[in-house]
Structure formats: C-alpha cells, structure tokens
Structure 1
C-alpha cells in the first residue's frame, strides 16, 4: 500500500473516530427545557426529614428538623420582581423557593418561562433556606430554622432597588433579622444578623442550604456535567447525583455526606445544562462546604456553614453571603468573578477537558456576536478567523496535494508496470515523492489539528446558554438544535410535518444544512488526489453522503461551522492549486474511478 493511500485511509479512520465518538457520547435526545425532578419520598404525615448543619465549633448541637408542607404555595409570601426574575419568598423559613427566569422560555414556540426553584408541596421541590445552628445553652427552638414563621419588617416586594427585611424574635432576648437584596441579574445578597438583648452570651452559627428533592432527570450526554459543582480553595470538584448518593454514611449527620473545609475562597451548588443554584460566602471567609444526600427522604443538598460566633449581651453579630440562582450566562458569571471576587466562578460553566481551546473560542465567538449581533454570522466569522490562523500550515498541505495531483499519471503508470510487486511499487513511489519534494502525510496534520477545535466548538454550542434559541436566518431559529427543515416535505412546501427528531425515520429527514454539508464535503474531496485502488475510491465517494446523514441531527450551529470550514478550505485549496499551474478537475476523479472499476471487473 503506497503512502498516499495510507494518508487517505488515516483520514477516514480519524473521521470515523469522530463520528463514532459522537454516536456514543452524544446520543440524539430532546434537549432539556426545564428542571424536572421525581416525586420525593415522604413520611406518613406528609413531611420530609432534613438534618440541620453542624457548624464549626465543638459545642454546636445537631438536632432533628423538618421541612414540612407548611411552606407550600399558600403560605404567606413576599413577591420577587425584577427585569429578569419573578417569584416569591415564603415566610415559612424565609425560603427562596419560587423563582422563574423571564428571559428564557421552555420552548422556542412557547410563552411559558423557565421555572428554576419550586417550593415543598409541588412535584419538584428545589429551594434555598437559611438559618442559625444553636450552640452552648441554646436549643433548636431558640434560633430560626427551616419552619420558623418570619415577619416582614421592611419591603413589600423584592426588587433591584428595594430589599426586603424579615424579622423573628425568640422571646428570650434574641432578635434575628434577614435582609435579602438582589442585583439586576441573578445574585441574591443574604445578610443575617442577631441582636442579643438578653443576659447570657449566645453561641450560634449561620448557614445556608440549597435542597433538591428527588433525583433530577438529567440529560444523558457524556459531554455535559449536571450535578454538584463546588470550588474548595484551589480545587474544583464535580460529581453527578449517583456519585453523591454513594458518599459514605455519617451517623452524626444522618446522611451520606462529604465535608470540606474552605480556608479563603469557595462556593458550592447544583448545576444543570443552562441553570445553576449556588451558595457563595464572602471571598476570604472560611466556611465548611457540605454535600449531602438524605437517603430516607431522597433529598440532595449543599450547605455553607459559617464559623460559630459568640454574641455577648447588648451586642450583635452580622454576616453576608450570596446566592446565585439563574442562567449560566458567561458575561454575568464573569462579572461576579471580577467585581465580587468570586474565586474561579467562571469554571462553574462546564468547559470540558479542552478548556484551553473552549474558553478562547467562546470568548472570541462572544466578542464577534457583540459586533455582528447574530450568532450564525458570528460562527461563520469565527471559522474564517480559525482558517486564517491555520493557513500557513494548510498552505504547505495544499501545495503538496497539488503536486501529488500532477504526479497522478506517473503513479498510474508505475502501478501498471509494477503489477503485483507491491514492494517495487512502494519503492518507486517513495523515490517519486522524494524527487518531486512531496510529503504525502502533510495533508493529515490540518485534519488532526481540526479535531480538538471541532470538539471544542461543539462543547461551546452545546453547553453555553448564549447559543440556546439563538436564531440565524429564516428557518434556523435555534442554532443549538438540528435543522428543522426536511427534504421529505420539500423544505416546507408540503403541509405535513417531518418525522420527530428522535424517531427511526428522522435519519431520512434531511434538512437544508446537512445537504449543503454533504455537497461541500464532496467538492472538497474532488480536489484531493484520487485513490488508485477502486475499493478505496468507492469508500471515499460515499463518505460525504454518509456524513450528511449522520450529522443531520447535530446542532445547526455546528453544521454551519463545518459547511463554512469546508467551503473556505475548498476555495483556499482551489486557488493554491491554480497558482501552481494545476487546474483542478472536479469531475475527472469520478470518471477515472468508474473506468478503473470497469477495467478491473473485465479483467
């Protein structure tokens, strides 16, 4: 087998690896459009048990507590209303347990907005709750907990300009206040304070909890992480829900638990594909980061436990922590990292193992979209920039291919002269390459370099919310979804709807973009040297159309990138070949392959 054919087969193998990887790791599914949880296990009285946190400090008590149906939607509430969020806070426990995102709809054709947090009493409880853990002479009833009934001291509606202050008095000299404010995006500031007007010192510790009832119905994509995400000083940890449920059981906590001590910087929360709910203590604040699974009630929860404080009579104590609850928008999260000092908060977005490619690619795409104002055209502009960066390497490859094209007649004669003597043919071709300064392997290097870029761009398109429901032109209204057009209904000219993307018939329902992809691959292939072997020629003749069908269900943004890449590659290669005196014959390869097959068949 000559080096030229080895080069071509290597390209096929590499392409096959890419396709196989996508079929295994990225199975076609309907994208998750909302937070969906299973119904949690409950006790006979309709309540679910939860263990309160153990704060730092040796004498902070742990006692049983209950998250009951008292926090159902009919409980007293304070409304949340900003340009981007709407919802309410339950006065039972002061829970932030009702939150929807005004900027995001469940489906592109729906007016229903995405719901992130829901209260106990609904099908999928998911919420944040704050309180104080008692120590010293204090008991559980002396501090506010999950079921404490708070009163509104100031503020009727939580807005960007009007915070809300809740208050509770234990009738034993301790007055607790909780001031909740919110910024223009998704960050809540929670300031908890205690005033000691009693005669004894009070030892207690503040905490925050994000609780999620039931095991979430997550996507099955290998490329996407959903579950725990936390930063513990310099260590970033990710764990899915199955891993959390396998943590070691701690009898003192009454649950599967993993505890980490944060010295200076950290945060902990749950992440979905596009949404996240995360507890963030003040930068520089030491705290205990806890991840817990209460198996008896099927509750997943994360906790931030602040150090115990001693409040002397006549004095007060106060602490402020943050809660991020919203969409994983790069610009907002990056802003909190830069302006608030949230350490490595940008890594709450799942950039993947190629993060050194993925992050720069996304930032460049984000910047282009800021200039152009359309993600589709920005992807095309990004492709042009990437091809420009790789052009010096590609130039050498295209020049080598042009020379190999010129040597094609000599190689055919050499093959006929060698007959079945493969060693003689191999030696002769190597001498021919050396004499004409042709490197047959040079064509593979651009392909190899393109693979991590391709994976990284797929990650960007699949994971980042900026591509969700992003339109391009006409029928492409969501670049993160497959092309909705179909050849089966003549691209919308006929009235019937194309098959569902998850049905067995979807592979035949080719859209406009997949067809253009097949054509662009076919044109690009015609510029490459034709295999001298008929079987190889047949394989390569089918490759563009196989890719066309297999990639038909990929995100439109990725298919658009591949079409753009193929088109630019074709133009570059065609012009370089012309500049070296070779006029590419786009259709000659097909005729030669057919003649060769006919000749071998007659023989």
Structure 2
C-alpha cells in the first residue's frame, strides 16, 4: 500500500472513530433523590483577622416526601414576598431568610410548542428541585448563631416596592441585642443582582462577623444532560484559574469538619466567583474585589449541593458599622451579556463560565465570528454557512496546494495502474517504483491528507459551539428546521411530512435508520466530493471509500442540524474549490461522467 493510501486510510479511520465517540450518548441520569425532612441550621466560627476560616453551613430540608406543584405553591405562600419584575426575569424574594428563591426567565421557554412555560431557574424550599440564593453573616467572637440573621429569620421590608431596575428594596432585621442588619437588593435589566449588606452595632460590646453568600441546590437538577462534552456542576474562578467540578465529583469530596460537610475550599486572594452552571443557565456568586473563601460543598445527609463565598471577617466596636457588597448572576448564559459583565462590569474572566472545552483557542473566536455574522444576517443558519465560508477562505492557501496535488495525482493515475500491472504482487518493488514516480513528478501524496486532518479540530470545535452555546438553542433556519441545536426533525419514516403521522422519536433506533433531509444531503455532498479524489488502486480500499459517505450519513444523522448544515456547506464549497483548482491545473474532471458510470455499475466501482 503506497504512502498516500496509508495516510488517507489513517485520516479517515481517525475521523470515523472521533465522530463515533461523539455519537455515544451516556445513560440517562437517575432521578434526584428526595431529602429527609429534618431542618438544621449551623454555623462555624470565622477568624477575626483574615479571610474567614469557618463559614456558614446551611442545611435546609426539602420538605419530606415527594414534592408536587401544590407543595411548591405552598412554599411560595409560607412567608411574605417581594415581587421581582424586570424585562428579563420575574419572580419573588421570600422575607423568610431574605431568600432569592423564585425566578423565571421571561425570554426563554421550555420548548418550541405553543403555550410552553417560560424557563424556571430558582425554586423555593419545599417544592420540587429547590434551588435558591441566601446571604447573611456568619457569627464570630461575641456572637451566638441566633444573634445574626439565618436562613429562617423573618425580615421586614423597610423601603421599596417591586424589585425592578432602578427600584431597589431594603430589608431590615434586628437581633434585640443592639445589632441592626440591613440588606439592600437591586437588579439590572438583565440577570445581575447586587446585594449590599450592612450592620450597625449599638450594643455595649465588640463583635466580629463575616458576610457570606450561598447557592443551595437540593439534589441534582432534573434536566441534567450527563454528556461528556458538556460540563454541568460547579464552575469557579480563583485568581485567574478556572475550576469545574461535576456533581458526581462533589460526592467524592473528603469530609471537612470545619465546613460540616464534604467540601473543597479555595482561598481567593484577589478576584473570583463561584456558582452552578447548567447547559444554558447559570447562578454565580461574585464577591467584591479582595480576599474571600470559595467553597464547593455536598451534604450527603440531605443531598444538598452548595457553593459559598465567605468574605473577610469584620470587627465592630460599640457604635460602629460596616457594609459589604456582592453580586449574584442568575440567568441565561448569553454570550453578549456575560461578555458585557466581564468587560464593563469587571467580573474577572466571566466568559470562561461558558464551557469552551479543550480547543478554547478555536471555539472562542469561532463563536465570536458566528455571533457577529448572526447579528448582521439575522439568521443563525445562514450565519453558520457564512462561518463555513470564512473558514474555507482562511484555509484556502493550504487547500490550493492540496487540490493541486490531487489534480496531479489524478493525472498520474494511468501510470500508477501500469506500475501495478508491472510489479504484480511484489509490494516492495511497487512501493519503490511509486516513490520514484512521485519524486520524478514532484508530487507529495501526503499533502492531500492535511485538509482532512485540519477538519477534525474544526469539526470538534464547531460541534462544541453548537452544543453548548445558548444562541443556537431554538434558533431556526428555514422551513422545517426550527431548532439548529437538535437533529433534523424530518424523516423518511413519514416521507418527510407527506404522510399523516409523526416521525420516530429523536434518539431512538428508528430515528437513526429513517434519516431526515439534511443527513441525506450530507451523504450526497460527500459522495460528490469523493468523485474528485484519486481512486485507490486497491479493491478493498476502493470499496471502503465507496461506502464511506453513506456510513458518515448515518453516523452524523443524529447530530445537531446546525452541525450537519456546516458539513453540507463545507462539502459543497470544497467541491467547487477543488473542481475549479483542478481545471486551472489542466485537469478536467469528468465528475458527472463518473457519476453516470457509477450508477451503471451499481454505485460501488468508481474510476
């Protein structure tokens, strides 16, 4: 086997193995466990002169037996509430603990179906999948746990009405021993809350206490994807270092007696944040600049996942006061919004909260170009085609050399066939004669492999971009393609909508067999492109290459339609480029004659 064929087979085999690995779907996640009904609140004592060494451990319960919609509604009604209403979110704040525990995203719906509910992000304790934010003070010297407001302290609304942009609310709580706590909550037009916590010491003694923020999640999220290409769980930034911890890894933390649970503690010296990230949504605690303790915690007694930001301990003499500010991001992972918070809101490396993967140096600029094209064109499908054109322009110098080499190889095809006849079964002699022919004609057979190899990281990066970024979710293209982040919904099963029944469910075996229109177009485009490449001289290789477009068609049929659209556009542009370059080098490929001949011979034996 000559070097060209070896390299081509290696490249194709590697591509197929990578794509096959991507197509493996992990088993569906187990349903979240129900937590016991006991409610416990405990706190640890922080250090008085440095970032707090101990922190709050808020182990609130989920409310006993299996939660229902009625249970959630009951939890909402347990305590007075402050309404939240902005252009982007709606919900309420419970005065019980001052919890931000009821939040929905106005501009996003669960499905594309008419009348679908808007996405719920935060839910109160007592309902299904409780998920909420808490802020408070951990007691230090001179204070008992009951002397500071906890998760079950009932606050009063001192000022403000509905929480809205430009309309903050102020909460107040007094311990009856001379300490008055105030919490001012404001929100912008997107997804950022600002929580300003103040305490006034009118007692006779000096006290120490540390402000904190907590995100608590009861059980794993119901919508957990568990895909290897997507990170879901804790995401944190600590002095420029990104950390990602899956929910499963949190259960393996070592027990930390200082934290009262399985925990991973990080000391942040300057800038950082910590929170939970889902596929498309995120909650993040963002302390002000300065040292703080970042904690990821799992309470296996109650199946509660928790992240904390515990800020530097404050010491208050009689008559003194202090104030600390932190922010809470709770919303959609919109690239432009997160980028604005990073660049204009000084949230250090906030764009890294989006899971760009190992090829971040490709995926980040790739999505930036895609976002820019979408802003100009106004349609994500056409933006993907535009991105394909940009990529092909960047790779054109390399492609030009490759296609020119292929044209030369096609011209040498008769000589290669003659050498095969002359050498017979003597493979060593055949190899020597082929190398001499390449040297004499100044042809590099490996140059045709390089574009194929470069397509692997590009393909992987685009798959990552399409899968993880929110902007592709529910993004339409044309006609029946209403969501580029899911597979083509059309199907041969119902003759692409002509028959009065639905196609097979996505992810089923039938869906892999009864392909949609776009996977079929993908197979055809690969087949057409193949007609321009030199045919292998070995019959076995020839058969493998003949079947390869149809194998890829079925393998990629269950991928997101946005990725399939890219591959179709890439194949089409590649065909045009290669055909034009080969003609410019004096070789006139009779592609359509080859196609007619292939059909006459049954499609498998091409020349």
Q: TM-score range by the shorter chain?
A: over 0.9
1:119: how far off?
0.6
1:238 to 239, 244, 248: 244
Tell me which residue corresponds to 2:71. Answer: none
Tell me which residue corresponds to 2:470. Answer: 465
1:428-507 superposed matches below 5 A = 428-507=433-512
Matches of 2:355 and 2:274, distance apart in 1? 15
Tell me which residue corresponds to 2:88. Answer: 84
For the structure 1 residues 368 and 598, does the alpha-carbon distance in structure 2 shift closer, same or farther, using more than 3 Å as the test?
Answer: closer
Matches of 1:492 and 1:572, distance apart in 2? 35
| Runs of at least 5 residues in structure 2 that lack an aligned partner in the other structure | 64-73
Say whether 1:48 aligns with 2:39: yes
Greater displacement, 322-331 / 60-69: 60-69
Matches of 1:138 and 1:181, distance apart in 2? 29
1:203: how far off?
1.6
1:400-415 superposed matches below 5 A = 400-415=405-420
Matches of 1:598 and 1:565, distance apart in 2? 24
For the structure 1 residues 18 and 53, does the alpha-carbon distance in structure 2 shift closer, same or farther, using more than 3 Å as the test?
Answer: same
3-state SS of 1:384 partner: helix
3-state SS of 2:293 partner: strand
1:587: how far off?
5.0
Q: Any idea what the Cα deviations from partners look like across 1:113-139, whole Å, max 9, x if unmatched?
A: 111110110011110011111122211
1:334: how far off?
1.1
Matches of 1:452 and 1:64, distance apart in 2? 44
Matches of 1:432 and 1:493, distance apart in 2? 55
Tell me which residue corresponds to 2:67. Answer: none
2:184 to 153, 156, 179: 179
Q: CA RMSD in A?
A: 2.4
For the structure 1 residues 135 and 27, does the alpha-carbon distance in structure 2 shift closer, same or farther, using more than 3 Å as the test?
Answer: closer
Say whether 1:341 aligns with 2:332: no
Q: Any idea what the Cα deviations from partners look like across 1:203-241, whole Å, max 9, x if unmatched?
A: 211111100111334212111111111111122111111
3-state SS of 1:72 partner: helix
Greater displacement, 247-256 / 354-363: 247-256
3-state SS of 1:318 partner: strand
Greater displacement, 197-206 / 331-340: 197-206
3-state SS of 1:476 partner: coil
3-state SS of 1:519 partner: helix
For the structure 1 residues 137 and 537, does the alpha-carbon distance in structure 2 shift closer, same or farther, using more than 3 Å as the test?
Answer: same
Kept in 1, the 8 Å contact 2:285–2:329? The answer is: yes
For the structure 1 residues 122 and 598, does the alpha-carbon distance in structure 2 shift closer, same or farther, using more than 3 Å as the test?
Answer: closer
3-state SS of 1:570 partner: helix
Matches of 2:604 and 2:335, distance apart in 1? 58
Q: Aligned residue pairs: how many?
A: 589
Question: TM-score w.r.t. structure 2 length?
Answer: 0.93
1:70-81 superposed matches below 5 A = 72-74=75-77, 75-81=79-85
Q: Any idea what the Cα deviations from partners look like across 1:465-489, whole Å, max 9, x if unmatched?
A: 0111011111111110101111221
1:352 to 331, 353, 357: 357
Kept in 1, the 8 Å contact 2:35–2:61? The answer is: no
Matches of 2:340 and 2:31, distance apart in 1? 30
Matches of 2:6 and 2:146, distance apart in 1? 77
Say whether 1:548 aligns with 2:539: no
1:97 to 92, 98, 101: 101
1:147-162 superposed matches below 5 A = 147-162=152-167
Q: Any idea what the Cα deviations from partners look like across 1:473-528, whole Å, max 9, x if unmatched?
A: 11111110101111221211111111001222111221111111001100000000
Matches of 2:120 and 2:111, distance apart in 1? 12
Matches of 1:563 and 1:597, distance apart in 2? 21
3-state SS of 1:492 partner: coil
1:175: how far off?
1.1
Matches of 1:194 and 1:222, distance apart in 2? 45
1:10: how far off?
2.2
1:52: how far off?
3.3
1:326: how far off?
0.6
Kept in 2, the 8 Å contact 1:53–1:305? The answer is: no
3-state SS of 1:404 partner: helix
3-state SS of 1:340 partner: coil
Q: Any idea what the Cα deviations from partners look like across 1:80-118, whole Å, max 9, x if unmatched?
A: 111110111011000000111111111111521111110
Tell me which residue corresponds to 1:290. Answer: 295
1:597: how far off?
12
Matches of 1:558 and 1:598, distance apart in 2? 27
Question: TM-score w.r.t. structure 1 length?
Answer: 0.93
Kept in 1, the 8 Å contact 2:261–2:297? The answer is: yes
For the structure 1 residues 8 and 594, does the alpha-carbon distance in structure 2 shift closer, same or farther, using more than 3 Å as the test?
Answer: farther
